Amino acid sequence: MNTTGATTLLRTAAELDAFGAGKGPRAVVMTMGALHEGHATLIRAARTAAGPDGQVVVTVFVNPLQFGEAADLDRYPRTLDADLAVAGAAGADAVFAPSVDEVYPGGEPQVRIDAGPMGERLEGASRPGHFDGMLTVVAKMLHLTRPDAAFFGQKDAQQLALIRRMVRDLNFPVEIVGVETVREPDGLALSSRNRFLDAEERRTALALSRALFAARDRLAAQQALHARAQTTTATTGRAAALTRLGEVRAAADTQAVAWARPDDGPTAVRAAARTILDDAAAAQPPLALDYLALVDPADFTEIPDDRTTGDAILAVAARVGATRLIDNIPLTFGADT
């Protein structure tokens, strides 16, 4: 057990047990290291929840079960010294950074968590077995750290949904807290993978967040028009009359209100995002789209085109050069405007 400033580095389960003895409520943030401001936001949220008498533990473990190829595992950045500094500055009491042998004594586990049908969609389809490995290590870390609450980022929305489902289905005595995605000033979602982008690739990668924001704005506009249609007498006939009078802008506005429908939101959302992603596919370097999906946050099934109410997640994944990036944004259909 080593202490760096106010943050203690723990390497074994025995050290973790000893460190937690007799302390107050514990909040845990699970990571694979390479900590950045997104992780720091999670740690600060955990610190607030745990309070001055509680304890915040950050786990740093690059889980081999989540990597389909050995090259990807080897490429993942290991920056433990920097991680300790970030964790300490954000308010962590300890960093638990066990070895692979400590987490998986005797080799890879023979019994694993099965992510089920949700784990086969989107990210699961692109990375077979990824979510089984993720849930297995999260389950192990929950047992090892025994937190009252565990904090995860909304950027990995499918991961968060699966963890919540596992905790509910298997009766883990822990609260799972989702924290809003943290973005860089240009809109790119914070990720340890961003460091692999050169300047030109980064410009192309910005299409992911731009597509999501455009879809969000399009939905807001659609819902505002529908709200106006409920309270005004706009008709296509009135629009035609305004056109004859030369009131072109007023005619266009009236026409838009008259045509506003509550059941074209999903179609409009997908179209707005797709336009930007299609443009990025023709950029240099190009964006190679993996998926664009508008899904139910409960099970990640596709939202039907006629959905008029309820929550959704618009998720996107793509490659720029050799780097694969994901992003998402929550949406609500039928929200007040």
From CA 314, how far away is CA 278, in angstroms rounded?
A: 16
130 is catalytic: no
From CA 55, how far away is CA 316, in angstroms rounded?
A: 35
302 secondary structure, DSSP code: B
- DSSP conformation letters of 78-139: --HHHHHHHHHHHT-SEEE---HHHHSTTSS-SS----TGGGGSTHHHHSTTHHHHHHHHHH
Other beta carbons within 10 Å of 206: 17
Q: How far, CA to CA in Å, does 117 sit from each of 33, 59, 132, 229, 266?
A: 29, 28, 11, 40, 23
- Sign (positive/negative) of CA torsion 191, 193, 195, 197? negative
Catalytic residue chosen out of the listed positions 36, 39, 130, 226: 39
The residue behind tokens 């066990």 is 98
Q: Which residues are catalytic?
A: 39
